[in-house]
Amino acid sequence: MTKKNRASNHRVAYALPDDLTTQLHTKIMELPSSVKADYLKRECFSKYVSLDTDPPEVRRTRAIAKWLATERENEATNDRLLTTPGEYNILPRVRLDRFLSWCRAFVADIIGETPPVDALIGAFSGGASTSRNRSSSHPSLKYTGTIHTTASALDYFVDTCIDEMPGWLNAQNRLITEIVPGNVMFTVPKKTDIDRVACKEPDLNMFIQKGVGTFFRRALLKHRINLNDQSINRRLAREGSITGKLATLDLSSASDSVSTGLVDLFLPEVWCTLLDSVRSPVTVIDGDEHLNHMMSSMGNGFTFELESLLFYTIAKAVCYFRGSRGVVSVYGDDIICPTDSVSELTFVLGFLGFQVNPDKSFDSGPFRESCGGHYYDGYDITPFYVKAPILRMEDLIDVANKLRHWGESTYAGGIIDPEIEPLWLWLKSMVPDVLWGGSDTSFKYQLVSQDSPNLRLTEEKRSKDTGTGGYYHWLNATWTRDAASDGVQTSSRVTSTNKLRLKRSRVRTVPRLTCIFLSELYGIDWTQSITSNSRNLEV
């Protein structure tokens, strides 16, 4: 039976209210006052972006201006670190040269004096690069055709990577390398009034950068800093909200504030040479070239791991010289440290070019926040965020599930807060009952409820034929396996048709309501039709 014939039976249209987002905002603001509810009211729409908020060009302009201002601070930091005499007291009775010597030894103990070959062997991600946009960024596509690199990164690639990784032995004959000056800036939505700046890196630079990042991540793990697990910082933040002995610090523009001068002072010389060679020395902003004073930006394959290494070292050094006892933990620029070290750590961070964000840092009172976890006197008050208008059914389900998760965190056993339940039931009433019965509040294609599971939405995805590049990608992803059954990491990115498909729930067999056609190209009209043969629903 054709889709046209299947869709012609018993149609029932579902349309979301045009002002649904506005109605939701009003109802959230009307929730009974409590610490948790009041915090949600303040935070829920703080990242909301729509046609009614500041236009994209304004948000982008502000983001670029902020990034350039950070770069001016980086230039000043480089000058300060170069000219400050060693006898300067960075802490009471602690000379700068002594402090830096301790930090260099600590870093060397973590990553070693020289980078091993393994640190150069990286991987391609599924992200966009300077040569490929997001729609053509599958890792396999970066092994063929023209790829970008800076001149210094190409030297490392030719001298080391090709000989070490079997996936490059033949791939190099199918590649055309193009030398570029550096990365290219772009912005993504962040908050209502400003975007977030990131940069697309040249392909080969990113390949080696990810190798360095992976090495740093593994080295930090040996020192009990697990960058694969945010729950560690969340647990410590909760503990700090109860005992008051641990503080949570957050830095402004942290990844963009790691200056080249700071890296030169903290890392062994050979490591500095490597990082400087595979970074992007230039950022292209709307066609203009900017010479970078920062070591790396968001988008670089080692930025997150490098900043984690540096902040861990700085916090440990301050605690060592101050004699503070207590846990130090980092996840990027989310820092957990003993409360009695905050004043000195804030000063040292400022001297080294970083600014503690007072609005998101807490060392007194019953509130702590880290890695997305928000706690008040031990209670989880983490809000959820509505970042865009609710236009499509999956948007509605996503918000309803987030609200349920937020409302359940106060009670055990999946019981939703009675004061929240009317709002959740209002959202539920707009979701077709065939999509009720989910169990995962992070899943936006089935509403979590106590109902029997029925149908769920899923994105229709079509695997792309990756061809010869896919073979090279597979070689580089699997060459270190000891057995064929060993797990490997590759990109799961696929080409999507931007459609949805309704499938049977895995939990329960669906009755003979087997053909439901939803017209969802624009997220407004839903159509239900009943037949006896069809199993899937396409949108």
Interstrand relation of 195-200 and 182-189 (parallel, antiparallel or unpaired): antiparallel
The count of domains in the chain is 2
Residue 257 sits at the vertex; the CA angle it makes with 256 and 263, to the nearest 5 degrees, is 110
- Contact of 311 with 333, CB cutoff 8 Å: yes
Residue 464 covered by a domain: no
Residue 125 covered by a domain: yes
Q: 442 and 362: one domain?
A: no
Domain boundary among 320, 346, 376: 376
Q: 318 and 393: one domain?
A: no
Residue 25 covered by a domain: yes
Cα–Cα distance between 318 and 315 in angstroms, integer?
Answer: 5
Six-digit token pair at 525? Answer: 């009209």
Q: 432 and 313: one domain?
A: no
Give the domain extent around 305. Answer: 57-376
Q: 124 and 211: one domain?
A: yes
Residue 463 covered by a domain: no
- Contact of 322 with 234, CB cutoff 8 Å: no
Q: 31 and 129: one domain?
A: no
Q: What per-residue confidence (pLDDT) applies to 190?
A: 86
Q: 11 and 150: one domain?
A: no
Q: 180 and 324: one domain?
A: yes
Interstrand relation of 355-356 and 373-376 (parallel, antiparallel or unpaired): unpaired
Domain boundary among 376, 401, 422: 376
Find the helix or strand (DSSP H, E) in which 437 lies.
strand 436-438
Sequence-ordered list of residues with C-beta below 8 angstroms from that of 337, at least 6 positions apart, any chain: 246, 247, 249, 315, 318, 319, 324, 326, 327, 328, 345
Residue 470 covered by a domain: no
User: Could you tell me which residues are beta bridge partners of residue 188?
Assistant: 196
Residue 483 covered by a domain: no
Q: Which long-range contacts (CB under 8 A, 24 or more apart) does 15-23 make?
A: 15/524, 15/525, 15/526, 16/390, 16/391, 16/392, 16/393, 16/396, 16/430, 16/523, 16/524, 17/430, 20/390, 20/396, 20/430, 21/50, 21/386, 21/389, 21/390
Q: In sequence order, which ranges of 84-201 are alpha helices (DSSP H)? A: 96-111, 151-156, 162-164
Q: What per-residue confidence (pLDDT) applies to 263?
A: 98
Tens digits of pLDDT across the chain (539 residues): 444 433 333 333 468 999 999 999 999 999 999 999 999 999 999 999 888 888 889 999 999 999 999 999 999 999 999 999 999 999 999 999 999 999 999 999 999 999 998 888 888 877 888 888 877 777 777 777 788 999 999 888 877 777 776 666 555 566 788 999 999 999 998 888 899 999 999 999 999 999 999 999 999 999 999 999 999 999 999 999 999 999 999 999 999 999 999 999 999 999 999 999 999 999 999 999 999 999 999 999 999 999 999 999 999 999 999 999 999 999 999 999 999 999 999 999 999 999 999 999 999 999 999 999 999 999 999 999 999 999 999 999 999 999 999 998 666 667 888 999 999 999 999 999 999 999 999 999 999 998 998 888 877 665 555 666 665 565 566 655 555 555 555 544 443 334 566 666 554 333 333 233 333 333 333 333 323 233 333 33
Q: What per-residue confidence (pLDDT) applies to 470?
A: 63
- Contact of 184 with 199, CB cutoff 8 Å: yes
Interstrand relation of 89-91 and 94-95 (parallel, antiparallel or unpaired): antiparallel
Q: 412 and 368: one domain?
A: no
Residue found by looking up tokens 């150069």 in the block: 120
Q: Chain centroid to CA 70: how far?
A: 21
Cα–Cα distance between 242 and 372 in angstroms, integer?
Answer: 18
Q: 351 and 392: one domain?
A: no
- Contact of 526 with 432, CB cutoff 8 Å: yes
Q: What per-residue confidence (pLDDT) applies to 113?
A: 96
- Contact of 437 with 505, CB cutoff 8 Å: yes
Q: How far is CA 73 from CA 76, 77, 252, 311, in A?
A: 5, 6, 12, 18
- Contact of 117 with 328, CB cutoff 8 Å: no
Residue 529 covered by a domain: yes
Tell me the one-letter amino acid at 471.
Y
Nearest to 199 by CA among 282, 68, 81, 297: 297
Q: 177 and 261: one domain?
A: yes
Residue 20 covered by a domain: yes
Count of residues for the chain?
A: 539
Coil, strand or helix: which one is 81?
helix
Cα–Cα distance between 182 and 102 in angstroms, integer?
Answer: 33
Q: Where are the beta strands (DSSP E) in 345-472?
A: 355-356, 367-370, 373-376, 379-380, 436-438, 447-448, 455-462
Six-digit token pair at 458? Answer: 């899923």
Interstrand relation of 251-252 and 355-356 (parallel, antiparallel or unpaired): antiparallel
Q: 275 and 358: one domain?
A: yes
Q: 15 and 75: one domain?
A: no
What's the predicted TM-score (pTM) here? 0.84
Q: What per-residue confidence (pLDDT) applies to 159?
A: 76
Domain boundary among 320, 353, 376: 376
Interstrand relation of 282-285 and 182-189 (parallel, antiparallel or unpaired): parallel
Cα–Cα distance between 398 and 310 in angstroms, integer?
Answer: 37
